[in-house]
Structure 1
Amino acid sequence: MFFQRNNTTRDSVKRFLAQVLAQDCNTVPQAFSTDALIVCEAGLTPGRRRFPYRDPYLLMVSFGMGTVVSTVAPRIPVVRRLLDGMHRDEIFSGKGMHVLSQLVTMDDQFLAGPDLKFSCSQQDFTPCKPPRGLRMEVLQNSAIHSLYQIDGFRHALRYAEHSSRPDTIAVAGYLDNDLIGVAGACADSDDLWQIGVDVLPGIQAKGVGKSLVSELTHRVFKAGKIPYYSTSVANLHSRNLAQSLGYFSVWSEIYAVSDRKTPDQNKLGRH
């Protein structure tokens, strides 16, 4: 699957993301630009993000227009009936979550989200200067594994040496030689890298996390990739951090999760 990756402008990044999310949902990019509710059958399509598939699958995505729901065939008529007549805002609110929770609970699943997804272009990127005394170290690929010996940075690192979504770049922040924060990028697909950040308690809101994400974003662009950043609806600090660096909101998603483990090397879906 050939995607036209271009991280230069906001429009080019959004077009690329629509291509990737269309593969996630087994639909076409144009589905995200309509006001309709579109329910399609999930499939293991090439080019999608490399999350492990959890059967029965359910993923809901909105780019701010309508809603696209990707799920397994037996659920399609049920989802259409449950969401019939609902506006996008209702679907992504307590009302929609309630009716869909009843559906997925029957399969020992629960709904996660809504998550807000941000991305950035080179044109929008607004780097920041690190606070005084912060030393940053950049690690790549297998060099990142040395950080796995230190717990507490699980929003930033995958802590997995063999993964279909490997850690590719990490920026570690030190104060007086003490590790106080890490920002990491993992390859959710070949060209779309997800950014996460963790800062030790007591250090937050002092510019450390912002500086680490700023340096990491620069490195992702330098690698020719497109960064994206995920937050929960309630995490206002994380949202503000991303937006202060030039990240812009692109889509929202809700997905079904279960406790069953699926090998991620041969399945796709949400981890």
Structure 2
Amino acid sequence: MTNREVLRIAMEQSAIDINCKADDFLRTEHVIVESKIGPDARKYYHEPVALDLVSYGNNIVASVKDEYREIAEEYIHKYEFYHCFETPNMYWLNERLAPFGQKVCFMAEYYLPDLNRMKPLPCSYPLRILTQKDFTDLYRPEWSNALVEGRKEFDVLGVGAYDGEKLIGLAGCSADCDMMWQIGIDVLPEYRNKGIASALTSRLALEVLERGKVPFYCTAWSNIPSVRNGIKSGFLPAWAQMTVKPVDFIEEMNR
């Protein structure tokens, strides 16, 4: 697999997720399509979604419900495309969606492996490859980034770091779609800043690649430790995404 192939796989999956064509992400002009979540979309994609904005760094592809199309079209043509994913421009969008009971909900940056940089990183603690059967007793708060209790059936592979028999760090990946597995990472607080996170992340990413899948990594822009870990582990930013959902959904998440 090459970096070009990895990027193409990611674009093809994003196209499935938001009902567009993979080549739409390569165009210089913005693209607007009808919002629809296909049966092969990532497992965590759920309706209702009023608007999804996705950019691989060339333009914006907006997947939008018909009733918000005019707002979305004006928004993505009003501002520089990369400013559409941040404040203060985002407030413009929120104000116009508010009468419809919609607001910006999710904002994230996604990373893909740079195959020219990715390599196993050293760890001062032994690492073990884990499979689904090993996760049974690990659905606890300290491993909530590596494993997702509500979607246990998709947690397919992991790497653990051990101090004796004590699990001190865990990278897990979820088979979120056919060709792409998402990596999450947790390290116990007293063991952080020792290179454990990057050792686990890089090792798991390589294990995923060996299985013919593309590992990907997601973080909030403001989660600096997570961003640093992704870059150190051999990942680079690939695309940004912003999702608009009903206000009731957002308020429920904030409780």
Establish whether TM, by shorter chain, passes 0.5.
yes
The equivalent residue for 2:68 is: 75
Match of 1:32 among 12, 17, 25: 25
Q: Does 1:155 align with 2:176?
A: no
In the alignment, the residues of structure 2 paired with residue 226 and residue 181 of structure 1 have an alpha-carbon distance, to the nearest angstrom, of 22
**Structure 1 pair 56/190, CA: closer, same or farther in 2 (3 Å)?**
closer
User: How far does residue 170 in structure 1 lie from its aligned partner after superposition?
Assistant: 1.6
Note if contact 1:145-1:161 (Cα within 8 Å) is conserved in structure 2.
no
Detail structure 1 runs of 4+ shifted over 3 Å in the superposition.
103-110, 121-124, 160-163, 257-261
In the alignment, the residues of structure 1 paired with residue 237 and residue 68 of structure 2 have an alpha-carbon distance, to the nearest angstrom, of 29
User: How far does residue 123 in structure 1 lie from its aligned partner after superposition?
Assistant: 4.2
In the alignment, the residues of structure 2 paired with residue 51 and residue 199 of structure 1 have an alpha-carbon distance, to the nearest angstrom, of 24
In the alignment, the residues of structure 2 paired with residue 83 and residue 121 of structure 1 have an alpha-carbon distance, to the nearest angstrom, of 29
Higher helix share goes to which structure?
Answer: 2
| Letter of the structure 1 residue corresponding to residue 175 of structure 2 | A
Identify unmatched segments of 5+ residues in structure 2: 251-255
In the alignment, the residues of structure 2 paired with residue 110 and residue 200 of structure 1 have an alpha-carbon distance, to the nearest angstrom, of 34
The equivalent residue for 1:98 is: 91
In the superposition, the TM-score normalised over structure 2's length comes to 0.88
Match of 1:141 among 132, 139, 154: 132
Note if contact 1:171-1:182 (Cα within 8 Å) is conserved in structure 2.
yes
Q: Pairwise CA RMSD of aligned residues? A: 2.2
In the alignment, the residues of structure 2 paired with residue 51 and residue 105 of structure 1 have an alpha-carbon distance, to the nearest angstrom, of 25
Match of 2:234 among 232, 246, 250: 246
After TM superposition, the structure 1 = structure 2 runs for residues 37-116 of structure 1, keeping only pairs within 5 Å, are 37-106=30-99, 108-116=101-109
Note if contact 1:58-1:255 (Cα within 8 Å) is conserved in structure 2.
yes
**Structure 1 pair 173/112, CA: closer, same or farther in 2 (3 Å)?**
farther
In the alignment, the residues of structure 2 paired with residue 113 and residue 39 of structure 1 have an alpha-carbon distance, to the nearest angstrom, of 19
In the superposition, the TM-score normalised over structure 1's length comes to 0.83
Q: How many residues align?
A: 249
Note if contact 1:181-1:209 (Cα within 8 Å) is conserved in structure 2.
yes
Note if contact 2:20-2:33 (Cα within 8 Å) is conserved in structure 1.
yes
Of residues 12-21 and 79-88 in structure 1, the stretch that sits farther from structure 2 once superposed is 79-88
In the alignment, the residues of structure 1 paired with residue 165 and residue 98 of structure 2 have an alpha-carbon distance, to the nearest angstrom, of 48
Of residues 118-127 and 191-200 in structure 1, the stretch that sits farther from structure 2 once superposed is 118-127
In the alignment, the residues of structure 2 paired with residue 105 and residue 119 of structure 1 have an alpha-carbon distance, to the nearest angstrom, of 34
Percent of counterpart pairs with the same letter? Answer: 24
Q: Which has the higher contact order (CA 8 A, sep 6+)?
A: 1
User: How far does residue 121 in structure 1 lie from its aligned partner after superposition?
Assistant: 5.0
Identify unmatched segments of 5+ residues in structure 1: 1-7, 262-271
In the alignment, the residues of structure 1 paired with residue 205 and residue 41 of structure 2 have an alpha-carbon distance, to the nearest angstrom, of 22
Note if contact 2:171-2:186 (Cα within 8 Å) is conserved in structure 1.
yes
